[in-house]
Amino acid sequence: MHETTTLLIEVGALLLLLGLLGRLSRRFGVSPIPLYLVAGLAFGHGGLLPLAASEEFFAVGAEIGVILLLVMLGLEYSANELVGNLRSAAPAGLIDAALNALPGFGFALLLGWGWVAAVVLGGITWISSSGVIAKVLGDLGRVGNRETPVILSVLVIEDLAMALYLPLVTALLAGVGLVKGGIALGVAVFTVVIVLVVAIRFGHLISAALSAKDPEALLLGVLGLTLLVAGIAARLQVSAAVGAFLVGIALSGPVAHHATELLSPLRDLFAAVFFVFFGLVTDPRDMPPVLLPAIVLAVVTMGTKLLTGYLAARRAGIAEPGRWRAGFALMPRGEFSIVIAGLAVAAGTVEPKLAALATAYVLITVITGPMLARLPDMRWFKQRLRRRIAAQHPRPVPATD
């Protein structure tokens, strides 16, 4: 009874703190993710007031948080939209992977952390934060802009790539080697293809089995199906997150729409728990030694994201201002980078400083990224851009007699 009482006090106090931090972040127009991470650092190992009784609760809640993040992401796309985006945005996705995964991969090798850690860090620097970017686009009123579909296409490619990347990195972290890792990747590719085929041809049957008219039954049905498939996927070494993502893709129509509304509060709750848990298991005393490398890595990869968005928008025929808006919008890393780092922490087979580096890196990009996204709207930036465009395309001088 005493342990239960302590658990309730710790969980209640921390959730209340997260609520206050979330309100504070909205007041200043920034993402709450860095505040959640800082809260976890303050009350985790090596923090100001370690919370021992509730750590197991937050560990389970963090796993559910990852699952809900991915299923909600899958609900945003139909299988047909996913396939269509994959075809049209594939070149931009390849540019994105090359420009942003390779710096992280090479950086880990330069630090002497080994090739497995390099694969992990490459994923951390590659994946942008869909949640943070969506919020930034909404806050800045750019949802209807011409460059926004380009941004979303790049994010969709990254999200789909995660379905292939996560099983591979999970296998590598488990120490199974390249051969078994390749088998895991092959199983993941096969599973993704099968689910996409089922979703395209029979998705309406899956959605029909879940009534959108009964909110309670729909919530329990979708949540139960997601957790069940995620658990089976984890047992098959495909990754629970990937299983949840594919469940979201398989659902469509009114079921997907109402499920999004019902699951959003649960996602927000458990996603916050996930970010806090990552901070709880990261010792803040490990961060000062990696702060400078994190800053260097952030500067380099924010620059490569800027180039990614610029090139993708140019390829789509977007004008110069839209290219810059697309590039700046893609800078923040967030939930998916933390998911990848969390897998490495749970495995315990890579460089211990990786968690601290990832935390510092995400904090830097998620704070500065939304701020830099406002630059293209500033008067001085617009004026310099107009002068640059005018210099590149001078008007012909009219002939005189």
Q: Distance between CA atoms of 126 and 103, rounded to whole angstroms?
A: 9
| DSSP 8-state class, residue 55 | H
Radius of gyration of the chain (CA): 22
Q: Which residues contact 231 (CB under 8 A, 6 or more apart)?
A: 240, 243
346 neighbors 125 (Cβ within 8 angstroms): no
pLDDT at 282 over 70: yes
pLDDT at 238: 60
Name the least confident of 33-47, 104-118, 285-299, 349-363: 33-47
> Where residue 309 falls among pLDDT bands split at 50, 70, 90?
very high
| 25 alpha carbon, distance to own chain's centre | 19
Instruction: For the chain, give the percent of residues with pLDDT over 90.
Output: 14
Residue pLDDT, tens place only, 145-165: 888 888 878 887 887 787 778
Span between the terminal Cα atoms of the chain, in Å = 99
**Long-range interactions of 38-42: CB distance < 8 A, separation 24+:** 38/279, 38/363, 39/14, 39/276, 39/279, 40/275, 40/276, 40/277, 40/278, 40/279, 40/280, 40/281, 40/282, 41/279, 41/280, 41/282, 41/284, 41/287, 41/359, 42/279, 42/284
The average pLDDT across 219-232 equals: 87
Name the least confident of 31-35, 161-165, 185-189, 286-290: 185-189
pLDDT at 99: 93
Comparing C-alpha atoms, which of 184, 179, 180, 190 is closest to residue 167?
184
pLDDT at 401: 42
Q: Distance between CA atoms of 248 and 73, rounded to whole angstroms?
A: 7
More confident position, 185 or 293 = 293
Q: In the numeric block, which tokens belong to residue 168?
A: 């591979």
Q: In the numeric block, which tokens belong to residue 297?
A: 């890595």
Q: Distance between CA atoms of 13 and 63, rounded to whole angstroms?
A: 21
The average pLDDT across 99-113 equals: 92
Q: Distance between CA atoms of 106 and 126, rounded to whole angstroms?
A: 12
The average pLDDT across 372-382 equals: 87
45 neighbors 283 (Cβ within 8 angstroms): yes
Q: In the numeric block, which tokens belong to residue 100?
A: 């942003």
Place of tokens 């120490």: 175
33 neighbors 366 (Cβ within 8 angstroms): yes
Q: What average pLDDT is seen over the chain?
A: 81
Domains of the chain: 9-377 (1.20.1530.20)
pLDDT at 176: 64
132 neighbors 33 (Cβ within 8 angstroms): yes
Q: In the numeric block, which tokens belong to residue 53?
A: 């009784």
pLDDT at 108 over 50: yes
Q: Distance between CA atoms of 37 and 42, rounded to whole angstroms?
A: 9
Q: Distance between CA atoms of 338 and 382, rounded to whole angstroms?
A: 35
| Overall pTM > 0.85 | no
> Where residue 144 falls among pLDDT bands split at 50, 70, 90?
confident
